Structure 1
């Protein structure tokens, strides 16, 4: 009986010790990231059970979902909420997303996803975002480059941003390698559709 009580006590002490270490580590990690990313927007994520794949690491789809959620959180916080987008009846569309994987991450560890506006056309029609993925130790385990544009939801055509919305993006800090985009930049990979009858 005494042995059982002792073992139970030790298990609780170990749990408390590990929990304390994790809390301290997370605080240090947040401080580290805040110091290193003064112009990057950061979003916290917990890797859920349905975010992992058959290899028991973060699935490809989760990288896309984390990036998309980070973008929409960023836009919402900058004033691009559903009310404003509904007022002009516009929405963002994606041209491509390129993901570069550097190392694995696993279930049960928090991650952070950053966002920078790496490119924007003068009229605001085209935009380019860069995401970096950081593990719980602040290590960069992946990067995503995404390009897109704004679409009129009535005509289903690409449009320039209305002035009221464009002004919101002008207030966002930009990285040193920021680029003013043109239509040619959206076609730099020279990809065109090939229908089945053409194969």
Structure 2
């Protein structure tokens, strides 16, 4: 499991003076990119291959408020990927200074070809890098069907 340390800043607070939802999203994104950077995914290498990550969903579960003044840790666990690397799924947990888990997030995304503007599998160099990542105990091979678990059909929308 990869861990990244953060300090909750004034700008990370909302009107209730606890950590804002947007700060959770930013901390997770920064954690993912810090880890991927270690694997060779950075602005330069992604630009060379004309790819970028896109987020399908981030489902956050909040257990307890987080306030400024104490450090927090954000974990990253690799829980799924499609065989071609197009789709990926990570799990993030947030821990306070005492190691208590105060939030959790399930995140799924994919890679987009920035020229064609469509989803794409990973080039071999990046796919090989992903294969070196430590996988969670419940890691699974993702399919396109896994990416559709939160979509609504028109009939569902009629009921809203």
Q: Could you tell me the TM-score, scaled by structure 1's length?
A: 0.76
Instruction: Please state how far the C-alpha of 1:163 moved relative to its aligned partner.
Output: 0.7
Correspondence for 1:171 among 128, 132, 149: 132
Q: Cα RMSD over matched residues?
A: 1.5
Offset at 1:56?
A: 1.1
Equivalent residue number for residue 82 of structure 1: 43
Task: Give 5+ residue unaligned stretches, structure 1.
Answer: 1-39
Task: Give the counterpart of 2:75 among 101, 109, 114.
Answer: 114
- Return the structure number with greater helix share: 1
1:193, 1:105 → 2: CA distance?
38
For residue 141 of structure 2, the aligned residue among 152, 176, 180 is 180
1:29-85, CA deviations, whole angstroms, 9 ceiling, x for partnerless residues?
A: xxxxxxxxxxx1000000000111111111111100100110111111111112211
Structure 2 residue runs without a partner (length 5+): none
Bigger relative contact order (CA 8 A; separation at least 6):
2
Distance 1:192 1:86 in 2: 35
Quick check: 1:155 aligned with 2:113? no
Q: Which residue of 1 aligns with 2:12?
A: 51
> 4+ runs of 1 displaced by more than 3 Å?
none
What is the Cα deviation at residue 86 of structure 1?
1.0
SS in 1 for 2:103: strand
Rg comparison, structure with higher value: 1
Cα distance in 2 for residues equivalent to 1:165 and 1:83: 13
Instruction: Flag the structure with higher strand content.
Output: 2
Please give the TM-score of this superposition, normalised by the length of structure 2. 0.94
Q: 1:60 to 1:193 in 2, by over 3 A?
A: farther
3-state SS, counterpart of residue 175 of structure 1: strand
Aligned residue pair count: 156
